[in-house]
Chains A and B, each alone.
Chain A
Amino acid sequence: MATQHSRSAARFMMAPAVILLLGWMLVPLTMTLYFSFKSYLPLRGGDLGWTGFDNYVRFVTSSAFWPSVITTLVIVGGVLVITVCLGILLAMLLDQPMWGQGIVRILVIAPFFVMPTVSALVWKNMFMDPTNGLLSHLWRFFGAEPVAWLSEVPTTSIVMIVSWQWLPFATLILLTAIQSLDSEQLEAAEMDGAPHLSRFFYIILPHLARAITIVVLIQTIFLLSIFAEIFVTTGGAFGTRTLTYLIYQRVLESQNVGLGSAGGVYAIILANIVAIFLMRIVGKNMDA
Chain B
Amino acid sequence: MGRITLNKVVKRFGEVEVIPPLDLTIEDGEFTVFVGPSGCGKSTLLRLIAGLEDVSSGDITIDGTPATDLPPAKRGLAMVFQSYALYPHMSVRKNIAFPMKMAGLSQEEQEARIKKAADALNLTDYLDRRPGQLSGGQRQRVAIGRAIVREPSAFLFDEPLSNLDAALRVGMRLEISELHERLKTTMIYVTHDQVEAMTMADKIVVLRAGHIEQVGSPLELYRNPRNLFVAGFIGSPKMNLIPGAPAAKHDATHIGIRPEHFRIVESGGTFTGKVIVSEHLGSDTFFHVDVEGVEEAVTIRAGGEVGLRHGDKIHIEPEEGQIHRFDAQGLRIA
Q: Which residues of A contact B (CB under 8 A)?
A: 182, 184-185, 187-195, 198, 202-203, 206-207, 209, 288
Contact across chains for A209 and B89 when beta carbons are under 8 A apart: yes
Which of A184, A202, A207 sits near B81, CB closer than 8 Å?
A184
A203 neighbours in B (Cβ, 8 Å): 87
B98 near A189 with CB under 8 A, answer yes
Within the complex, what minimum Cβ distance (angstroms) separates A205 from chain B? 10
Specify which chain A residues have a CB less than 8 angstroms from the CB of B88 in the assembled complex: 207
Q: Closest A-chain residue to B89, C-beta based?
A: A206
Interface centre among B50, B72, B82, B132 (most CB of A within 10 A): B72
How far apart sit A184 and B47, CA to CA, in the bound complex (Å)?
11
Q: Which of A182, A195, A206, A288 contacts B85 (CB 8 A)?
A: A182
Interface Cβ pair total, 8 Å cutoff: 62
> How far is B89's CA from A191's CA once the two chains are assembled, in angstroms?
18
**In the complex, A180 Cα to B48 Cα: how many Å?**
25
19 new A-B contacts at CB < 8 Å, known A187-B81, A189-B98, A191-B50: A182-B83, A182-B85, A184-B81, A188-B79, A188-B81, A188-B87, A188-B146, A189-B87, A191-B51, A191-B72, A191-B77, A191-B99, A192-B102, A192-B146, A193-B102, A194-B98, A202-B98, A206-B89, A288-B132
Assess whether B102 is in contact with A207, with CB atoms less than 8 Å apart.
no
Q: Is B24 an interface residue (CB 8 A)?
A: no
User: Is B72 a contact partner of A190 (Cβ separation < 8 A)?
Assistant: yes
Could you tell me if B102 and A188 are in contact, using CB atoms closer than 8 angstroms? no
A146 to B293, CA, bound (A): 94
Pairwise interchain contact A188-B85, C-beta atoms closer than 8 A:
yes
Q: How far is the CB of A96 from chain B (nearest CB, A)?
A: 17
Nearest neighbor of A206 in chain B, beta-carbon distance: B89
Q: Are A198 and B102 in contact (CB under 8 A)?
A: yes
Distance between Cα atoms of A203 and B101 in the complex (Å): 14
**At the interface, yes or no: B120 with Cβ under 8 Å from chain A?**
no
How many Å lie between the Cα of A182 and that of B81 in the bound state? 11
- Tell me, in angstroms, the Cα distance from A189 to B85 when the chains sit together: 9
**Are B89 and A207 closer than 8 Å at their CB atoms?**
yes
Considering only residues 72-105 of chain B, those with a C-beta below 8 Å from chain A are: 72-73, 77-79, 81-83, 85-90, 98-99, 102-103
- Residues from chain A with a CB closer than 8 A to the CB of B82 are 184
Residues in chain B near residue A288, CB distance under 8 A: 89, 130, 132
Tell me whether B113 is interfacial, beta carbon within 8 Å. no
> Which residue of A is nearest B50, CB measured?
A191
Q: Are A184 and B87 in contact (CB under 8 A)?
A: no
Q: Number of residues in B with C-beta < 8 Å to the partner? A: 26
Residues of A within 8 A of B71 (CB): 190
Please name all residues of chain B whose beta carbon is closer than 8 Å to the beta carbon of A189 when the two chains form the complex. Answer: 87, 98
Can you give 13 contacting A-B residue pairs, CB < 8 Å? A187-B79, A188-B79, A188-B146, A189-B98, A191-B50, A191-B52, A191-B72, A191-B79, A192-B73, A193-B73, A195-B73, A203-B87, A206-B90
**At the interface, yes or no: B150 with Cβ under 8 Å from chain A?**
yes
- A201: shortest Cβ distance to chain B, in Å? 12
A190 and B88 CA atoms in complex are apart in Å by 16
**Contacting residues of chain B (103-161) with chain A, CB-CB under 8 angstroms:** 103, 130, 132, 146, 150
Instruction: State in angstroms the CA–CA spacing of A99 and B285 once bound together.
Output: 58
| Contacting pair A190 B52 (CB below 8 A) | yes
Instruction: Verify B81–A192 contact, CB threshold 8 A.
Output: no
A148 and B81 CA atoms in complex are apart in Å by: 57
Q: How distant is the Cα of A288 from the Cα of B98 in the complex, in angstroms?
A: 19
Closest Cβ–Cβ distance, residue A114 to chain B (whole Å): 36
B146, A184: Cβ atoms closer than 8 Å: no
Are the C-beta atoms of B103 and A193 separated by less than 8 Å? yes
Q: Is the CB of B87 within 8 A of A187?
A: no
**B residues in contact with A207, CB < 8 Å:** 88-89
CB-contact partner of A190 in B73, B86, B89, B90, under 8 A: B73
Q: Is the CB of B87 within 8 A of A202?
A: yes
- A212 nearest CB across to chain B (Å): 13
- Asked if A194 meets B102 with Cβ closer than 8 Å, knowing A187-B52, A203-B87, the reply is yes
A192–B130 CB distance below 8 A: no
Q: Among B51, B89, B132, B150, point to the contact of A192 (Cβ < 8 A).
A: B150
Question: How far, in angstroms, from A191 to B49 measured CA to CA in the complex?
Answer: 12
